[in-house]
Structures are given as structure tokens and as C-alpha cells.
Copies of this chain bind each other. A is one copy, B any other.
């Protein structure tokens, strides 16, 4: 569990740790992602970032999210055919996905045991394993 305060200063630090030049917009976007409980889509990031003063364009939001992904400062979660979710938690973990509300919830990887994955064909390596438990309201 992370217990850091998500101040602008800490965001600058975090960006530098990932080799990213901290600009106004990048700091704001990082802050939006890390200070909100996980799993925002680009749209929401833009909304939060521009809530007070509109200062970050759509192009920059996407540029920046893709830069963060590239530098592995965040990861993406693909569960909805119509949009990507961005996840500030890069520690290995899995997800519940509420298909009714669109809500994503983390599942700690410690709890999970996964066995019996077949051997990979030669010439391939595993990039990651995603487990998605699709859930919905019971009645």
C-alpha cells in the first residue's frame, strides 16, 4: 500500500525518477492520476486537469498518458471496448470489472494462485498476465 501524499512536489520527483521532464501539464496530469483512486480514462483525466483553469489540450493529455505508459510510470487496463483505463498502480495486480457501472477494483496479486499455464511456444516471452473478473449486480 502506498501512503505518500500526492503533492505537486512529489509528482515532480516521481516524473524525474522516470526520466520525464516535469512540465506544468505533466505535473497536473500525474497529480490527477495519482491523487484519485485508480483507473481513470483519458476523458476523465482531461476533465480533472482542466477543472479549475482550462490549460491542457486533448493532444497533450494523450501525448502525456502515452509518455507515462512508455516510461512505465502508469499502466493501461483494457476491459472496455470503447476506452482505455489508466492505472497509477504499476505493482502487479488484477481487476474486478463491474460491467454495469464500469467500475474497476484492484485485486492484490499476493492473494492469487495461478497454475497450469501452458508452455510458451519458443521465441515468445511473457509480457504480463491480466486476470479480469467480470462482475455485475446480482439481481
Q: Which of A118, A129, A136 counts the most B-chain CB atoms under 10 A from its CB?
A: A118
The stretch of A30-38, A44-52, A56-64, A76-84 that contacts the partner chain: A76-84
**Chain A's interface: helix, strand, loop or mixed, by majority?**
strand
Contacts of A133 in B (CB 8 A): 117, 126, 128-129
A84 CB to nearest chain B CB (Å): 5
Chain A count of residues within 8 A CB distance of the other chain:
37
A98 partner residues in chain B, CB cutoff 8 A: 124
Quick check: A136 and B125 within 8 Å, CB to CB?
yes
Check B134–A131 contact: CB distance below 8 A.
Answer: no
Determine if A130 is an interface residue (Cβ-Cβ < 8 Å): yes
Please tell me which stretch of A4-12, A20-28, A105-113 contacts chain B, meaning at least 4 of its Cβ atoms lie within 8 angstroms of it: A105-113
Q: Once the chains bind, are B107 and A111 in contact (CB under 8 Å)? A: no
Name the CB-closest residue of B to A105: B121
Q: A1 at interface (Cβ–Cβ under 8 A)?
A: no
Q: Considering only CB atoms, which chain B residue lies closest to A109 in the complex? A: B116
Decide if A135 is an interface residue (CB 8 Å cutoff).
yes
Contact of A124 (CB < 8 Å), options: B76, B120, B137: B137
Q: Which residues of B contact A138 (CB under 8 A)?
A: 123-125
Best-surrounded residue of A81, A84, A115 (most CB of chain B within 10 A): A81
| Chain A residues in the interface with B (C-beta under 8 A) | 76, 78-81, 83-84, 96, 98-99, 107-108, 111-118, 120, 123-138
